[in-house]
């Protein structure tokens, strides 16, 4: 019998040997926790489609307590979305001074100062009566399209109102062409040169967003989002989207969803190693892991850690995830399933 000359198993023998050799490390400081703000509610409301998550009233102690708890666990970045019943064609509540996101950001700033990094999602789908991320327009031939450039004008207003409220980073998720340039210009003109942009650059038209749309009542009322979100069959186009966003002034770029698009994460990281890259571990991915855990198909904590580690290993610097608090708590306890 010939003995193997190389023995990779030596580095697998003890937990510490494995840890020394590990490359992808999870750190709550690199995670962003999405938070839902509900307009016109008195108490936090559980979100049925996203177990463990709530809609918080914009000016509530519960919201402040939730963010404080996250800060204690080392999760210091938050991505704010909002739910409203005040919907119209262009989503005016998205740029209202008293909009739910603006109110929540002001409240958090008053209570917690600049300790949390606040990212505000910039889109109109949860504020429009048609549920699209852009403004619809009827063509002479009768077809209805989502008008790119009219939408950019609305986005510019939203960006400025979110910056005025105190956002650190604006996160445009609507996938309109030129959205980063339009927002950058509007911010700069209004004196917000210090406010950053995290661009949803390669956002795919994905069925994994289902539970999220339930949380915000933001599903399109007609048609679908395939005329603006990317086709799941295309990978290299992500490089063009990322390149454009970087040229237009994005500070952080993003691939979304994460788990089914690990190849895209890797491709973007390899092509633009200097650009901070976020990956959005979306609602459907989160719920899948929850259900697997609840049904005894896998150990929930281990499954979650394996998923998050895979996203990091693929090349994401930042993970936007509904698991952030659970993961941070386990990491603090020294949980290491590997
Ligand atoms: C809004 C938006 C969506 C998500 C983030 N911002 C939904 C969509 O595009 O339909 C999805 C997030 C998730 O599923 O967790 N444009």
Atom 14 in ligand 1: residue holding the nearest Cα: 209
- The 10s digit of each residue's pLDDT in 186-195 is 999 999 999 9
* Distance separating alpha carbons of residues 258 and 265, to the nearest angstrom: 7
- Per-residue pLDDT, averaged over 305-328, amounts to 98
What domains are defined for the chain? 25-332 (3.20.20.70)
pLDDT of 215? 83
Pocket test for ligand 1, best of 209, 311, 323 (most atoms within 8 A of CB): 209
Q: Assess contact for 327 and 321: CB atoms under 8 A.
A: yes
pLDDT of 1? 87
Q: Closest Cα partner for 124 from 115, 135, 116, 113?
A: 135
* Distance separating alpha carbons of residues 199 and 249, to the nearest angstrom: 9
Query: Percent of the chain having pLDDT more than 70?
Result: 100
Give yes or no for residue 214 having a pLDDT over 90: no
Give yes or no for residue 54 having a pLDDT over 90: yes
For the chain, the straight-line distance linking the first and the last C-alpha, in angstroms and rounded, comes to 32
Residues contacting 237, CB < 8 A, separation 6+: 202, 230, 231
pLDDT of 96? 98
* Distance separating alpha carbons of residues 125 and 229, to the nearest angstrom: 13
Helix (H, G, I), strand (E, B) or coil at 6: coil
- The 10s digit of each residue's pLDDT in 264-299 is 999 999 999 999 999 999 999 999 999 999 999 999
Residue 203 is among the residues annotated as catalytic for this protein: yes
Please give the model's pTM, rounded to 2 decimal places.
0.97
pLDDT of 222? 93
Residues having CB within 6 Å of any atom of ligand 1:
121, 123, 125, 133, 173-174, 209, 212-213, 225, 282-283
* Distance separating alpha carbons of residues 116 and 168, to the nearest angstrom: 9
DSSP notation for 228-284: TSBPTT-STHHHHHHHHHHHHT-SEEEEESSGGGHHHHHHHHHH-TTS-EEEEE-HH
Average pLDDT taken over every residue of the chain: 97
DSSP notation for 59-99: T-HHHHHHHHHHHHTT--EEEEEEE-S--BSS-GGGG-TT-
Burial of 72 (0-12, 13-18, 19+ CB in 10 A): exposed
Beta bridge partners of 256: 203
Q: How confident is the model at residue 172 (pLDDT cuts 50, 70, 90)?
A: very high
Instruction: Work out which ligand 1 atom sits closest to the CA atom of 208.
Output: 14
Atom 7 in ligand 1: residue holding the nearest Cα: 209
Q: How confident is the model at residue 331 (pLDDT cuts 50, 70, 90)?
A: very high
β-pairing, 54-56 vs 31-38, is parallel
Give yes or no for residue 173 having a pLDDT over 90: yes
Residues contacting 120, CB < 8 A, separation 6+: 79, 80, 101, 105, 162, 165, 167, 169, 170, 171
Residue 256 is among the residues annotated as catalytic for this protein: yes
């Amino acid at each position: 019998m010939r003995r193997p000359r190389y023995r990779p198993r030596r580095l697998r023998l003890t937990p510490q040997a494995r840890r020394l050799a590990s490359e992808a490390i999870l750190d709550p400081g690199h995670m962003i926790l999405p938070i839902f703000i509900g307009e016109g509610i008195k108490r936090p409301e559980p979100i049925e489609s996203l177990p463990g998550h709530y809609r918080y009233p914009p000016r509530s102690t519960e919201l402040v307590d939730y963010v404080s708890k996250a800060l204690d666990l080392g999760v210091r970045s938050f991505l704010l979305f909002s739910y409203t019943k005040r919907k119209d064609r262009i989503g005016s509540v998205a740029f209202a001074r008293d909009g739910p996101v603006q109110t929540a950001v002001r409240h958090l700033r008053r209570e917690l100062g600049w300790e949390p990094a606040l990212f505000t999602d910039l889109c109109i789908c949860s504020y429009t009566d048609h549920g699209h991320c852009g403004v619809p327009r009827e063509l002479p031939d009768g077809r209805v399209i989502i008008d790119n450039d009219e939408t950019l004008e609305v986005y510019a207003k939203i960006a400025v109102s979110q910056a005025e409220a105190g956002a650190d980073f604006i996160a445009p998720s609507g996938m309109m062409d030129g959205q980063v340039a339009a927002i950058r210009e509007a911010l700069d003109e209004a004196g917000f040169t210090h406010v950053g942009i995290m661009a949803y650059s390669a956002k795919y038209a994905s069925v994994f967003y289902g539970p999220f749309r339930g949380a915000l009542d933001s599903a399109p009322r007609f048609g679908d989002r395939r005329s603006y979100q990317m086709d799941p069959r295309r990978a290299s186009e992500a490089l063009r989207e990322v390149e454009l966003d970087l040229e237009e002034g994005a500070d952080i770029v993003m691939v979304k969803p994460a788990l089914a698009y690990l190849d895209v994460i890797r491709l973007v990281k390899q092509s633009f190693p200097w650009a901070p890259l976020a990956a959005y571990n979306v609602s459907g991915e989160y719920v899948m892991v929850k259900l697997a855990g609840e049904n005894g198909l896998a150990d929930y904590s281990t499954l979650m850690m394996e998923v998050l580690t895979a996203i990091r290993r693929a090349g994401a610097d930042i993970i936007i995830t509904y698991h952030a608090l659970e993961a941070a708590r386990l990491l603090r306890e020294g949980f290491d399933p590997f």
